Chain A
Amino acid sequence: RKEVEQDPGPFNVPEGATVAFNCTYSNSASQSFFWYRQDCRKEPKLLMSVYSSGNEDGRFTAQLNRASQYISLLIRDSKLSDSATYLCVVNLPASGGSYIPTFGRGTSLIVHP
């Protein structure tokens, strides 16, 4: 089982739709979770941090479910410009008490007119 898993998609949705992605992780001791957005042939850009209490930024909402070991990203009122690959990051425990960032393979979103 991979340590961090995402459905690669693509998720193909019309403008204005609501779409949600999940990202599951295998190590219950993981901490510090993030969502990144990556456009084609560009670097990933930090979208938002993920907390158990939820984190909302405009049309985007991120949530952490520790009991079921997944994080989610909800996008409301999708825009054409939301088309991109969305990467989740989970920090997995490593030796010496540190944590190592581990990326999922990404979920592709295509928003069409």
Chain B
Amino acid sequence: DGGITQSPKYLFRKEGQNVTLSCEQNLNHDAMYWYRQDPGQGLRLIYYSQIVNDFQKGDIAEGYSVSREKKESFPLTVTSAQKNPTAFYLCASGRRYEQYFGPGTRLTVT
């Protein structure tokens, strides 16, 4: 089946630990995106990549890092430097500015 997968669905971590969220797509899309959504809020762009081996910071990149070594994969690392990491993280891929989202990962850091 074609689509975008994110794993895990729920993730719990202790403060001070880095954690990596997975995002894979088999839609052959060039562009991939990471967003964060907090309760009652819209989506805020963390990082985006329009082509393999290239990525740009979005509005709230501080405390996050990404890599884009393969077209299909765009993992996001939430580092210990991110002050408020608990959130719903959404990955998307797309072309011509249309985006298709994965099911998301709910990260809780205590």
Q: Write the residues of chain A forming the contact surface with B, with a CB cutoff of 8 angstroms.
A: 31-32, 34, 41-46, 49, 87, 89, 91, 94, 98-106
Contact = CB atoms under 8 A, between A and B. Distances in A.
A46 B50 contact: no
Contacts of B104: 42-43
A101 B45 contact: yes
Main secondary structure of the interface of B (DSSP, over half): strand
Interface of B: 33, 35, 41-45, 48, 50, 56, 58, 88, 90, 96-104
Given A32-B97, A43-B102, A49-B98, A103 B50 contact: no
B101 A102 contact: no
B12 to A, nearest CB: 17
A44 B43 contact: yes
Nearest to B102: A43
Given A102-B45, A103-B43, A43 B98 contact: no
